[in-house]
Amino acid sequence: MPNRMLKFVNLEQRTPPKRSAPERREDFEEIYEEFDPDSAADQAGRCSQCGVPFCQVHCPVHNNIPDWLMLTAEGRLEEAYEVSQATNNFPEICGRICPQDRLCEGNCVIEQAGHGTVTIGQVEKYITDTAWEEGWVQPVKPTHERDQSIGIVGAGPGGMAAAEQLRRKGYQVTIYDRHDRAGGLMIYGIPNFKLEKEVVERRSRLIADAGVVFKLNFEVGRDASLAELRAKHDAVLLATGVYKARDVKLPGAGLQNVFPALDYLIASNRKGLGDSVPDFDNGTLNAEGRDVVVIGGGDTAMDCVRTAVRQGATSVKCLYRRDRKNMPGSQREVANAEEEGVEFVWLAAPEAFDGRDNTVEEVRAVRMHLGVADATGRQTPQPVEGSNFTLKADMVIKALGFDPEDLPVLFNAPELETTNWGTVRVDHRTMMSNLDGVFAAGDIMRGASLVVWAIRDGRDAAESIDRHLKAKAEGPAVMAAE
Ligand SMILES: Cc1cc2nc3c(=O)[nH]c(=O)nc-3n(C[C@H](O)[C@H](O)[C@H](O)COP(=O)(O)OP(=O)(O)OC[C@H]3O[C@@H](n4cnc5c(N)ncnc54)[C@H](O)[C@@H]3O)c2cc1C
Ligand code: SF4
């Protein structure tokens, strides 16, 4: 058989075709087409099968990337899928929305050598989308059932990954979520043009088909206390994400038409899912015909600017206090936004929102420069004296990040320990909080992060819950030996 690998030497890097920017602006469909089988095999074959695969080292779930690339290059897709799903509950979701430029692809050895990374994310998406089409993706079937039950609070990627892993081991699993749909930020935060909702919904259905019970519209703290869940289940996993939007304390911040990012994105995502959204229909949360200024430089800001473009905004500007190189959002998404007509105003920060009749009309801003590095090594932005300017705006979206809600208060559980940042304090060896049998995973444990880290945490928590329950079942001697 001819060697199908190491093609990077004479084969250029290629991603699947991307739809043109004018076409993308008109709808909320995903922007990349799928690889055809030959291109997927060729692009996978660019991998050099490194002895120390840095792609895998830098993947939070340690995907066995070289192996599934080789299997794809050889046309053995079902095996590629088996290898890929062994370490990741949602590979086709990670293939779509992981910031690969900061993880696997950014560390790919042939990228470092100047040949252009293997397009790992696109191959991952291709493998699992094919697996769905071919019927290879099936609900997990436990080999034996266990009596013990686990209550999971939060149906985001962390909670759902844990649920699938625990079900695989035969536990009885119930997921509680305050929303009416499962998926967490994958369903109501991340827009359809990055992650089509059917891709998330078919995963939720698969997990339900495996026997996991979803109790939606169920808010822990309102419909049950943490103590009640602990009494009902043998273990509880908190995977509630982080939802307290960071705010700007500036003059005019309370004006109408100044919105938190998630209100805006949830309205748009609900509309796309076919829900009735009065605040969108009456124009309040619709950017059509408006001059929009989005404040922030992370993934949420990128999603807001690109949503505004698609809603038919007159102009869309993104104000960020650092420069392009130092922004937290994915460089790939910035490039996509620029292609779609978003204007980035780098090194600029808002000072006030001005308007009349309680309605914002412009953003007063100041230019920034990057000063000395702080304790974390990041240069601190400083205002440039006398560099004030204004931006016309009749809609301002604040995308400044999220902090945890006050869980001990919300859950009526003052005994639950949190960190100085409000995340649930856990023993990182076990993922267990200070309360016996209460574990935590995802953003509520590590702070606002990524889907792939939530999956990793969910899987780790499931392993730890399994060990904890087995030790309990086997009795005090085993627990003492742990
Ligand atoms: C706009 C936006 C865009 C993003 N884009 C990306 C991206 O492109 N790539 C990427 O990797 N990451 C992205 N992220 C980050 C990613 O979405 C999160 O890191 C990830 O979803 C965290 O998973 P989680 O399971 O911890 O929490 P979540 O996904 O937040 O899910 C938590 C769930 O818990 C539920 N819940 C909360 N409190 C309660 C309660 N009291 N009772 C019952 N249920 C409750 C919530 O309703 C929610 O469904 C983005 C985030 C945002 C906000
Ligand atoms: S680092 Fe790049 S070339 Fe090396 S194994 Fe991973 S994908 Fe292949």
Whether ligand 2 lies within 6 angstroms of the CB of 345 is answered as: no
Nearest protein Cα to ligand 1, atom 35: 154
Ligand 2 and 73: CB distance under 6 A: no
Structural domains of the chain sorted by starting position, each given as residue range(s) with its CATH number in brackets: 7-134 (1.10.1060.10), 149-242+404-481 (3.50.50.60), 247-401 (3.50.50.60)
Q: Where are the beta strands (DSSP E) in 374-440?
A: 379-392, 395-398, 402-403, 438-440
- Predicted pLDDT at 375: 80
Q: What is the pLDDT of residue 228?
A: 97
Q: Taking residues 430-455, report their average pLDDT.
A: 98
Q: What is the pLDDT of residues 243-302, one digit of tens each?
A: 999 998 899 999 999 999 999 999 999 999 999 999 999 999 999 999 999 999 999 999
Residue with tokens 């949503």: 307
* The predicted structure's pLDDT at residue 1: 42
Q: How much distance in Å is there from the Cα of 48 to the middle of ligand 2?
A: 6
Whether 2 shows a pLDDT value over 80: the answer reads no
At 482, is the pLDDT very low, low, confident or very high (cuts 50, 70, 90)?
A: very low
Q: Is 443 in the pocket of ligand 1 (CB under 6 A)?
A: yes
The reported pLDDT for the residue numbered 39 is 95
Q: Looking at ligand 1, which residue's alpha carbon is closest to its atom 10?
A: 450
Interstrand relation of 359-373 and 348-356 (parallel, antiparallel or unpaired): antiparallel
- What is the edge-to-edge ordering of all strands in the sheet holding 438-440? 213-215, 172-176, 149-153, 235-238, 438-440
CA of 36 to the centre of ligand 2 (A): 21
d(CA 75, CA 54): 24
Residue nearest to atom 8 of ligand 2 (CA): 47
Report yes or no: 359 and 255 within 8 Å, Cβ to Cβ.
Answer: yes
Instruction: Categorize the per-residue pLDDT at 476 as very low, low, confident or very high, splitting at 50, 70 and 90.
Output: low
268 Cβ inside 6 Å of ligand 1 = no
Q: Cα dist. 49→13, 63, 78 in Å?
A: 16, 14, 20
Q: Average pLDDT of 359-387?
A: 91
Average pLDDT over residues 308-319: 98
Q: Is the CB of 50 under 6 A from ligand 2?
A: yes
> Is the CB–ligand 1 distance for residue 151 below 6 Å?
no
- Is residue 19 predicted with pLDDT exceeding 50? yes
Give the confidence band of 477 by pLDDT, cuts at 50, 70, 90: low
- Separation between Cα atoms, residue 21 and residue 338, nearest integer Å: 9
pLDDT at position 474 over 90? no
Rounded distance, CA 274 to CA 192, Å? Answer: 13
The CB of 185 under 6 Å from ligand 1? The reply is: yes
CA of 154 to the centre of ligand 1 (A): 9
Cβ burial, residue 147 (10 Å; 0-12/13-18/19+): exposed
Q: How far is CA 291 from CA 53, 252, 364, 441, in A?
A: 46, 17, 14, 39
| Per-residue model confidence as pLDDT tens digits over 46-104 | 999 999 999 999 999 999 999 999 999 999 999 999 999 999 999 999 999 999 999 99
Contact between 120 and 69 under an 8 Å Cβ cutoff? The reply is: yes
Phi-psi region of 150 (alpha: psi -120 to 50; beta: other; left: phi over 0): beta
Q: What tokens does 192 get?
A: 């359809």
Does the CB atom of residue 66 touch ligand 2 within 6 A?
Answer: yes
452: which 2 tokens?
């792939």
Give me the mean pLDDT over the 438-443 stretch: 98
Question: Model confidence at 379, in pLDDT bands (50, 70, 90)?
Answer: confident
What is the CA(350)–ligand 2 centre distance, in A?
Answer: 42
- The pLDDT of residue 29 is above 70: yes
**Please, are residues 159 and 184 in contact by the beta-carbon 8 Å criterion?**
yes
Kindly tell me the sign of the dihedral angle through the C-alpha atoms of 246, 407, 424, 414.
positive
Query: pLDDT > 70: what percent of the chain?
Result: 98
Q: What type of residue sits at position 370?
A: L
- Point out the ligand 2 atom lying closest to the alpha carbon of residue 56: 6
Strand residue runs (E) in 393-469: 395-398, 402-403, 438-440
- DSSP element (H, E) containing 293: strand 291-295
Segment 220-228 shows an average pLDDT of 96
Give the residue-averaged pLDDT of 38-45.
96
| Nearest CA owner, ligand 1 atom 12 | 450
> CB neighbours of 42 closer than 8 A, spacing ≥ 6?
7, 11, 14, 73
How much distance in Å is there from the Cα of 205 to the middle of ligand 1? 18
* Distance of alpha carbon 133 from the chain centroid: 24
Distance 115 CA to ligand 1 centre (A): 35
| Closest atom of ligand 2 to CA, residue 110 | 3
Question: Span 416-443, mean pLDDT?
Answer: 97
Q: Per-residue pLDDT for 444 more than 70?
A: yes
Instruction: Flag the least confident range among 71-80, 142-151, 312-321, 367-376.
Output: 367-376
How does residue 36 score in pLDDT terms, banded at 50, 70 and 90? very high
Cα of 428 vs centre of ligand 1, distance in Å, is 21
- How much distance in Å is there from the Cα of 164 to the middle of ligand 2? 29
